[in-house]
Structure 1
Amino acid sequence: MRPIQKMAFELVAAAKHMPRFHRIPVVLCMMFFSLSGCRQDYSLAPPANSEKITVTVKLPKELKTETMWVMYRSAICKSIRRGASGQRVEQDGRHSVYKELERQGESDLYQVELPKDGGGACRWHLANVTFGVVYADPTRFGENVTSGGGGGVVVIFDYNDSPRGGADIKVEGDLTIKKDYYPWLSESFLGGYKKYISLSGEGGIYRIYQALEARRVHFKPILHSNFAVYSTEPKEKKEGNHTKFTYPDGSVVEERQSQPDFWKLQSIRTGRAPECFSRWRYFACPDPRPRLLPDWLPEPDQPGFGRYVIVNEWGSRLPSYSYRLVGKDGRTYEEKTDVDGFTDPLPDSAHPVRDVEFPVWKR
């Protein structure tokens, strides 16, 4: 006899000897016994000493925070469904809660604290959060303008995918997100006229991060209000008809893509080549902006000497890159980095440096 059947048999036997008014709860319990006992409690019950994860948004004045979707998972309380062939499929249970980020005093910071350990009989753990920013008043862009997408963030705290998929970026430690956004006013006609104000940023509507060790998540959206982009979709579905984009510099481009060219927007605002804003296309950037990392790394084989590392805007080391350093001792050191981005060995008397220049760009 299986354990659950044995327990049910024992309950029935015991009920025969109970007073009548005690039998009803037992019968009710039997009705739900196959659902993991007498109504298993699926609620959250975070312990008082649960570690907290703090999410903070530094909010531009024209935007507002969206309601945060918080998902907890449980390996104990399984979710059971049927597969395409009728087979039984078990997955970790999911429990969703919704939180509003609260303003911190009179500042532009909005924050929420989440218990990492959800507790309860299911032993819930924090799996992921979905949040973001949108325009607080879409109608300032015209009558019947509604809020569109963009400005969304998903952070995953475990090894599972989020409801919106897997991570685009994986980070160690706490997570700081600093992203540029542009106003995007779009008009569509097919299926009825609609007008949206969205946020055009890098990637799609949501950027997805995995931060297994994070205890603090800080999101700083930077809104460039004076660099709006406009789009108009075709009025009829016809071969050769594409969405027309009007960029802040007045250029008009008709393209197959459904959203603005973010790199073009970055280029218009800064005057730099689009490749300079993409980690993957940075090799073609004609105007790289290197920096000297402040860490002084002692040279193991040369006591009294150390090196610096020179990296690009993305933090990647720059090999064969020209530099000119003025050390603390007043001496000037001019050379190129080695294949790993390290400077030549410098005497301890040069640290910390007074000044650094990158006079000529050489690979």
Structure 2
Amino acid sequence: MVKPIDTRMVGTRFFRLLTVVCMMFFSLSGCRQDYSLAPPANSEKITVTVKLPKELKTETMWVMYRSAICKSVSLGASGQRLEQDGRHSVYKELERQGESDLYQVELPKDGGGACRWHLANVTFGVEYADPTRFGENVTYGAGGGVVVIFDYNNPPRGGIDIKVGGDLTIKKDYYPWIHESFIGGYSKAINLASEGGIYINYQALQARTVYFEPVFHPSVLVSSEGSKVHKVGNFIKFTYPDGSVVADGQSKPDFWKLQSIRTGRAPECFSRWRYFACPDPRPRLLPDWLPEPDQPGFGRYVIVNEWGSRLPSYSYRLVGKDDRTYEEKTDVDGFTDPLPDSAHPVREVDFPVGRR
């Protein structure tokens, strides 16, 4: 006996199946939902500028917008519904500003559209412009990347390294690094060695301008060779510009060593956290004149190190506007002794003795 088909049940099952398909395959077209960007004309802009050394070129910028309305829906291992903010990627090329070395792009903060997109993060950077100058088959490897996050979501790569308030200015040193690999086939790549990883992640919630200046030192070249056979104790061998060879288990060059070779200063002088051991500190006097509230007619200066940290018990010698010489040591907070108004602004600043 043939049983009749319940068309209502079939229709319900089809509708449910269609819904699941829409959930699993979230895309720009969606299930009759408009996921496109439509920035309003009055949207606030975020400007990203790169000051480009002649040996480098800019990478294509990956721009990510997010939406709390148009969710990205998937199914978990147990079939449960998983929701995340929807994501929309855009790719931009930074444009050269006239004949200058500045490259720039403007991005609408408000992505608009039915999904009410907002700018979440940007990924950009620099790379070696002509890898073949190091050999016919040399390719670009890695390094020189920056990620800036404008909301509270995690970045596409790793976690947040640095949080900043207001606009963001990034100025970092980079060195050319040639690496040869042997296991699994020979390859040779030119990388950019710097402080941190391939990408440095910044969270800048209030930023409206982002300025990135990679300071490139093409003459300070470090090279490395990977292991030729898998063997315990075989490490990457680094050859530095001063002729030293190091194979200490590290996967990238010692950035502080490169800084030291280039400048002749101790590696500790380039690290905020190790600066206390720097044998060649370079203090400076901040120009702000701070009136002394309990001593009318007098004020103080602040003496800081290269990182902007105040220097306690640091010897100084100042020649004031009144031609008088004031020589002492800073207090525990890095302040000079109270000086009369007639000494401001100072004519000469010297640190003859330094920290004692």
TM-score normalised by structure 2 residue count: 0.90
How many angstroms does 1:97 deviate by?
0.4
| Residue of structure 2 in register with 1:246 after alignment | 239
Letter paired with 1:171 = V
Kindly tell me: are residues 300 and 87 of structure 1, through their superposed partners in 2, closer, same or farther at Cα, counting changes over 3 Å? farther
How many angstroms does 1:348 deviate by?
1.6
Match of 2:147 among 143, 154, 164: 154
Q: d(CA) in 1 for partners of 2:241 and 2:313?
A: 37
Q: d(CA) in 2 for partners of 1:85 and 1:298?
A: 67
User: Tell me, what secondary structure is at the counterpart of 1:236?
Assistant: coil
Kindly tell me: are residues 185 and 38 of structure 1, through their superposed partners in 2, closer, same or farther at Cα, counting changes over 3 Å? closer
| Residue of structure 2 in register with 1:70 after alignment | 63
| Residue of structure 1 in register with 2:260 after alignment | 267
| Residue of structure 1 in register with 2:167 after alignment | 174
> 1:133-148, aligned counterparts within 5 Å?
133-148=126-141
Moved more, 197-206 or 289-298: 289-298
Say if 1:156 and 1:209, in contact at 8 Å, map to a contact too: yes
Say if 1:33 and 1:39, in contact at 8 Å, map to a contact too: no
Match of 1:97 among 79, 90, 95: 90
| Residue of structure 2 in register with 1:17 after alignment | none
RMSD: 2.0
> 1:126-137, aligned counterparts within 5 Å?
126-137=119-130
Match of 2:288 among 283, 291, 295: 295
Match of 2:274 among 281, 291, 296: 281
Q: d(CA) in 2 for partners of 1:35 and 1:142?
A: 50
1:209 aligns with 2:202: yes
| Residue of structure 2 in register with 1:18 after alignment | none
| Residue of structure 1 in register with 2:27 after alignment | none
| Residue of structure 1 in register with 2:8 after alignment | none
Kindly tell me: are residues 34 and 264 of structure 1, through their superposed partners in 2, closer, same or farther at Cα, counting changes over 3 Å? closer
Say if 1:32 and 1:39, in contact at 8 Å, map to a contact too: no
User: Tell me, what secondary structure is at the counterpart of 1:264?
Assistant: helix
User: Tell me, what secondary structure is at the counterpart of 2:133?
Assistant: helix
| Residue of structure 1 in register with 2:7 after alignment | none
User: Tell me, what secondary structure is at the counterpart of 2:66?
Assistant: strand
Aligned length: 336
Kindly tell me: are residues 142 and 343 of structure 1, through their superposed partners in 2, closer, same or farther at Cα, counting changes over 3 Å? same
How many angstroms does 1:38 deviate by?
6.5
How many angstroms does 1:110 deviate by?
0.4
Kindly tell me: are residues 337 and 82 of structure 1, through their superposed partners in 2, closer, same or farther at Cα, counting changes over 3 Å? farther
Deviations along 1:162-214, one digit per CA (max 9) or x if unpaired, are 00122211111111111101100000001111100000000111111111111
Which residues of structure 1 form unaligned runs of 5+?
A: 1-27
User: Tell me, what secondary structure is at the counterpart of 2:258?
Assistant: helix
How many angstroms does 1:282 deviate by?
1.0
TM-score normalised by structure 1 residue count: 0.89
Moved more, 328-337 or 79-88: 79-88
Kindly tell me: are residues 332 and 138 of structure 1, through their superposed partners in 2, closer, same or farther at Cα, counting changes over 3 Å? same
| Residue of structure 1 in register with 2:41 after alignment | 48
Q: d(CA) in 1 for partners of 2:184 and 2:21?
A: 48
Q: d(CA) in 2 for partners of 1:254 and 1:34?
A: 53
Q: d(CA) in 1 for partners of 2:173 and 2:127?
A: 14
Letter paired with 2:90 = V
Letter paired with 1:299 = E
> 1:22-33, aligned counterparts within 5 Å?
none
1:39 aligns with 2:36: no
Moved more, 271-280 or 164-173: 164-173
| Residue of structure 2 in register with 1:5 after alignment | none
State the percentage of identical aligned residues: 83
Kindly tell me: are residues 245 and 52 of structure 1, through their superposed partners in 2, closer, same or farther at Cα, counting changes over 3 Å? same
Which residues of structure 2 form unaligned runs of 5+?
A: 1-14, 24-29
1:196 aligns with 2:192: no
Where has structure 1 moved over 2 Å in runs of 4 or more?
31-38, 81-89
How many angstroms does 1:286 deviate by?
1.0
How many angstroms does 1:35 deviate by?
5.3
Q: d(CA) in 1 for partners of 2:343 and 2:165?
A: 32
